[in-house]
Amino acid sequence: MELAAAQAAVMMFLLSSLILSAVKAAEDFDGASILLRKSQSPVAGLCAQLIEPSGFPCSEHKTQTKDGFILGLQRVSSSSGNLRRQRGPPVLLIHGLFMAGDAWFLDNPNQSLGFILANRDFDVWVGNVRGTRWCHGHVSLSEKDREFWDWSWQDYALYDVREMIRYIYTVTNSRVFVIGHSQGTIISLAALTQPDIVEMVGAAALLCPITYLNHITARLPLRLVKMHLDQVFLAMGIHELNFKSDWCTRIMDMMCDGHVDCGDLLTSVIGKNCCFNSSRIDFYLEYEPHPTSTMNLNHLFQMIREGTFAMYNHGRWKNMWHYGQLKPPKFDLSRIPSSLPLWRGYGGNDALADITDLQHTLKELRSKPDLLYLENYGHLDFLVSTRSKEDVYDKMLAFFNSLEHLAVVTD
């Protein structure tokens, strides 16, 4: 690919990713200009910046993965209670791609799942994977080091989620209920195939559940996969994808200014959304998007190309060095115990969590999850819909309430 074409492809991808994270579909959207005004990283922690101002007690926690990343966790209590008197079981919230733990608190307390769980007396723990702004770096690497970004979603699953669950399990002496959205479901299911992780989990609820991606219908991601844009990024030496950096926002501002219809990109990236709260876009962009690694994007695009739910493909000979075999090992969904209760919410307008791929996953699981299907819901409606409490969260919480006894650890 010629350099000019590669640069044009990079510009297109950066803009599309902004739209994915910003959740704005109005035709008058000027995403890059808004992002330029919101490009400064938060100074205070997530508790002080977003959760406590809404009247909810919150404490900051840190824990270290086995490969040296220092993760940030927040623990949230009911607005009428305190952190020392939690009555419900612990719940870990695992966010999606280009997001972090703030994604669960972006609307008012009556609509945001994190606040709703806390007010229902669950012991809410907010997860933030490596590379996001609520995490705290690495014990020896700097974010400027290439090696800092040498990971994909399998490392989220095998290191980050493992350590989050272990930490919560140790602090609370209770099995953890897990809730994931989008990429958070990929890493949750991969983690649950590991026996030492799943034994610390009481149940899991998955919003827009993804494992296989070979039937997605989202037009722009499919185009970018065909262009091998992820490999272009790696060839150009771009290891961190940070859409709040100055150069990224300048590119996106230029692309929105007469080169691309910014208002139509959301639908082309993730499909139609019926009910998300577009009036809060300026507020959303104070927090989103968060960084991720180019290798992570490459791994997700591999899933689309190869039709597998497997570890990162380094290439045949590097796979031999990493895995002892020419192809990367698959995550075996049949290893998730049939005794683990699972709940899944999915929508008919979701162009990423496709129903055909969902059915593929269901055939590989040993259990039969509880399913909620909403025909008019899209990928973002499960997170920021104005009706998500009534349509989704009340039903999911009824599932969890029936299982509270599973959180109790017996000696």
Q: Indicate which residue of 78, 112, 182, 385 is catalytic.
A: 182
Helix (H, G, I), strand (E, B) or coil at 91: strand
Separation between Cα atoms, residue 409 and residue 354, nearest integer Å? 36
73 beta partners? 61, 127
Q: Given the structure tokens 């490596």, which residue do they identify?
A: 130
Of 107, 350, 357, 381, the active-site residue reads 350
Q: Retrieve residue 405's tokens.
A: 């006894």
Q: Exposed e or buried b for every residue in 99-123, given b needs 16+ CB within 10 A?
A: bbbbbbbbbebebbbbbbbbbbbbb
CA R_g for the chain: 20
Q: Is 350 a catalytic residue?
A: yes
Nearest to 323 by CA among 60, 331, 115, 390: 331
- Helix, strand, coil shares, percent, the chain, to 5: 45, 15, 40
CA pair distance 203, 246, nearest whole angstrom: 42
Neighbouring C-beta atoms of residue 296, cutoff 10 Å: 26
**Residue 79 is among the residues annotated as catalytic for this protein:** no
Amino acid making up residue 320: M
* Residues 283, 102 contacting (CB under 8 angstroms): no
Q: What is the C-alpha separation between 138 and 135, in angstroms, rounded?
A: 9
379 is catalytic: yes
Q: Which of 155, 188, 379, 381 is catalytic?
A: 379
Q: What are the residue numbers of the active site?
A: 182, 350, 379
